[in-house]
Amino acid sequence: MKKVICLLAFLCAGAVKAAPYDEIDGIFDKFRNDSHIPGLVYGVVIDGKLAHVAGFGLQELEAKRPVTADSLFRIASMTKAFTALTLLEMRDEGKVRLDDPAENYIPEMRGWHYPTSDSPHIRVRDLATHSAGFVTDDPWGDRQTPMPEADFTELLKTGVPFTRAPETGYEYSNLGFALVGRVVTNVSGKNYADTVTDKLLKPLGMNASSFVADSAPREKRALGYRWEDGAWKAEPVLGPGAFGAMGGLQTSANDYAKWVEFLLSAWPPRDGAEMGPVKRSSVRELSQGLNFPHFRGNSAQIVNYGMGFNVLLDNTLGFTMSHSGGYPGFGSHVLLIPERGTAVFAFANRTYAGPVAPVWEAAAMLEKAGMLPPVRPQPGSAMLTDGYGVVGAIYKSGGVLAANGKLAMNFLMDRDADGRARDLAALKSQVGDCDTTSPVRPTGGLSGEFTWKCGQGQIKGNLLLAPTLSTQIQSMTLTPIKP
């Protein structure tokens, strides 16, 4: 059973190059069947729009309700990014400091026994980056979602054991994010769920999303199941509680797409008004962590954990941010490609049925089909434009005198003027005269790449300016490419 909605007409029109969505739909539906998942929905966001969303199977077996883009799923640990961004927004307000000891905001942590005499006390930042020294607590943590706040307070008063000293390594901790939720509660003066709702969900128009699963009518909710002994068994609904900050959010594909669109809008850094609800620079901070590399799941990919996202430089897709959600009755995954304005996400209603493989495969297929936008360019500068013009003048004249005083002090020390003249003459003998008017592609405010079309081939070039207030060329490389 499948329901597909195509929201961008140009992607659906037969006269235009077809996106590979039919094939991708098949991959997700096959994953659902092979993994014994009652229902699944996935979405693709490109350039600020939900380009494609498709639902398969049933959100509730008993009533045989099909999955739609509005079906509400528990997204488990994909909640952590909402928690982290709420924390950063409160930091922006001056209400919390990430490098403060967490016990400044959670008094029950004072007097904890640390594993070594030289252990630093846990900072707020350590909680949000899984580097507080707690032991990995899947699946124990998943079952703690409905823990009453009073019980959590008593647990914290007694202290917890450590598996390592804080700030010495990465280890995934739901407890750590529950503590971030307690920081949010104590600093804001109201419970965590209401704070996230007011700061993120309402401003983004995520009106169907909440931390209380039963608050939505049953006919709108995907119910959770486990596949056990060859049959589906209903999982109990976990209510709200002290561990909601690590995985308690319920949302739909249509609502979650608004969140993803907002996150992607933070790239690239640029001038212009902030549209909120959180500063673009703070959103980008979700990709920063303490840089303790680890393997992503059972794959050979090495990632760092930021705040609520695993960060990976992929050979094909480039800079990526991703996170899975595993929960009694549910599994989910999201992949963001921020510099290309693209995301793929999926929700499923079977215990720990994380659709990681089809999400990444879908992104790779979109890349292969030419559907992913190019990397959004870094902003350049007037100095870069000026320096690029100097490079063109040097090539045309065949010597560095054309630089007219715009060479950094190291430039002629690294290769003298006569040597550079010989290099330029040899280059011209290979490719001939070139059109140096093509634009430079900034890789930063003071660096860029360019391609020149020449009489007998092309030149690929790189330009790097010095960290000086006036235009000074630190280095340039010109590489011939024969036809």
Q: How far, in Å, CA of 86 to CA of 64, rounded?
A: 37
pLDDT band at 11, cuts 50/70/90? very low
Dihedral angle, C-alpha 356, 325, 201, 256, nearest 10 °: 20
Average pLDDT on 448-456 reads 97
CA separation (Å) from 124 to 86, 177, 180, 273, 307?
Answer: 13, 10, 7, 30, 12
Q: Which CATH entry fits the domain spanning 2-85+188-368: 3.40.710.10, 1.10.10.10, 1.10.1740.10, 3.40.50.261? A: 3.40.710.10
Q: Which residues contact 134 (CB under 8 A, 6 or more apart)?
A: 160, 162, 163, 171, 173, 175, 176
Residues of the chain with CATH 3.10.450: 382-481
pTM for this entry = 0.92
Q: Which amino acid is at 49?
A: K
Amino acid at 448: G
- Looking at residue 10, what is its pLDDT? 32
Amino acid at 304: N
pLDDT of residue 476 exceeding 80: yes
Do 327 and 351 contact (CB within 8 A), yes or no? yes
Q: How far is CA 471 from the centre of its chain?
A: 35
CATH class of 382-481: alpha beta
pLDDT band at 5 (very low <50, low <70, confident <90, very high): very low
pLDDT at 18: 57
Tens of pLDDT, residues 220-256? 999 999 999 999 999 999 999 999 999 999 999 999 9
On the question of pLDDT at 6 being above 60, the answer is no
Contacts of 166 (CB under 8 A, 6+ apart): 114, 119, 120, 121, 122, 123, 126, 131, 132, 133
Is the confidence at residue 312, as pLDDT, over 80?
A: yes
CB distance 142 to 95 below 8 Å: no
pLDDT tens-digit series, residues 186-221:
999 999 999 999 999 999 999 999 999 999 999 999
Q: How is residue 65 written in tokens?
A: 């309700």
Residue 289, token pair as written in the block: 């962590």
In whole angstroms, give the CA distance from residue 173 to residue 413.
53
Using CA atoms, how far apart are residues 479 and 335, in angstroms rounded to an integer? Answer: 35
| pLDDT at site 290 | 82
Residues of the chain with CATH 3.40.710.10: 2-85+188-368
pLDDT at 125: 98
**What is the pLDDT averaged over residues 46-69?**
97
Q: Where residue 7 falls among pLDDT bands split at 50, 70, 90?
A: very low
| Cα angle 289, 164, 148; round to 5 | 80
Give 126-150 pLDDT, tens digit per residue: 999 999 999 999 999 999 999 999 9
Q: Indicate if the pLDDT at residue 73 is higher than 70.
A: yes
| pLDDT surpasses 80 at 450 | yes
Q: Is the pLDDT of residue 12 over 60?
A: no
Asked whether 19 and 366 are in contact (CB, 8 A), the reply is yes
> What digits encode the pLDDT tens for the residues 22-40?
999 999 999 999 999 999 9
Task: With a cut of 70, say whether residue 327 has pLDDT above it.
Answer: yes
**Strand ranges (DSSP E) for 392-481?**
434-435, 441-444, 447-454, 457-465, 473-481
- Give the tokens for residue 399: 């010597």
